[in-house]
Amino acid sequence: MILIIGSDEDFHSKYILEKLHEQNTPAKYFDTRKYPVLNWSPEGENDYIILDDEKIYLKDVTGIYWRWYYGVIYGTSDIVYREKTSALESFLCSLEDISWNSLQSVELHRKKGLQSKIMQNNGIRIPKTIVTNDQDALEKFYLENNKNIIYKPVRGGAYTQKLKEEDFLRKDTLINCPCQLQECIDGIDIRVYAFETGEIFSGEILANSIDFRADDKAKINKHPLPENIQKDCLKILKLLGLKYSGIDIRLSNSGEYVFIEANPAPMFTHFENMTGYEITNTLIKNLKKV
């Protein structure tokens, strides 16, 4: 049995469910908005979860595909919400060994500044980065990087954008909300799908926007990575507690590979269709391991 954390509202969740069913592999959505009946203990002998009236024993679950976590819907009171959240997330954290990926790694990705710090502290080249809501710090960083910086959300949920002169001159830029600022690496985008089992699929994305996600006509071509960069990708998986990831890299015009971030629940079907890489089969193979 494979559990898919997500729902049929999300394309990739639905896609993986369909592929598993094509292979006659039992699989089921785990939509956390529909709070489940769950039972688990430190011993783990008879742990189970009931989804849509079906009791699923965890000993029969070989893998969990983590695509979209909706959290717990607020109910009758603060204390009930807190207890339901704590019980569910304790349960999910206990399944780290079979989760692709774990709740812990998903939470780390929501703290992009911390993810960057971990990579840099372990010898991974990242862009110069600050997270701030201090206008003076923004001005200093802007000038130190030749007025060539980008900004993005600290948690995610919006496209990366180039900081323009008019944005910088606005004195209310950071009053309400901090953001993550980085030096702009002029070059091309590289997306890498790396698995802890050693498979690495990499492609260059030729887009007409600073954030390739904003260009639905971007072209993707296979891109062989140097051996040392492949090793860095696998190193990042270990550093961030990931079993697989969509890792974003910028290949600078001078030929330097600069790591941007590692996504624990990446989209991949378009990339796979454009390159012919077998990302789906690699993921499913790992989910089905006993």
pLDDT surpassing 80 at residue 267: yes
So what's the pLDDT on residue 44? 76
- Coil, strand, or helix at residue 180? strand
Residue 94 in contact with residue 40, Cβ under 8 Å?
yes
| Residue 115 pLDDT greater than 60, yes or no | yes
* CATH architecture of the domain with residue range 2-100: 3-Layer(aba) Sandwich (3.40)
- Determine what percent of the chain is predicted with pLDDT higher than 90: 68
**SS3 assignment, position 32:** coil
CATH number of the domain located at residue range(s) 129-183 in this protein: 3.30.1490
Question: What is the pTM assigned to this prediction?
Answer: 0.88
- Give the count of beta carbons closer than 10 Å to the beta carbon of residue 97: 9
Cα separation of 7 and 190, whole Å? 29
166 or 30, greater pLDDT: 30
Among 44-53, 113-122, 164-173, the minimum mean pLDDT is found in 164-173
Helices and strands of the chain, counted as H and E runs: 9, 16
Residue 46 confidence class, pLDDT cut points 50, 70, 90: confident
CATH fold, domain 112-123+186-287, is: D-amino Acid Aminotransferase; Chain A, domain 1 (3.30.470)
Question: What is residue 214's predicted lDDT score, i.e. its pLDDT?
Answer: 47
- Which DSSP letter does residue 225 get? P
Q: Is 243:286 a contact under the CB 8 Å cutoff?
A: yes
Given a cut of 60, whether residue 188 has pLDDT beyond it is: yes
For residue 146, pLDDT over 70 is answered with yes
Kindly report whether the peptide bond that precedes residue 39 is cis, defined as omega within 30 degrees of 0: no
Mean pLDDT for 229-255 is: 96
Report yes or no: 47 and 39 within 8 Å, Cβ to Cβ.
yes
Residue 209 in this model has a pLDDT that exceeds 60: no
Query: pLDDT averaged over the chain?
Result: 89
Domain ranges of the chain: 2-100, 112-123+186-287, 129-183
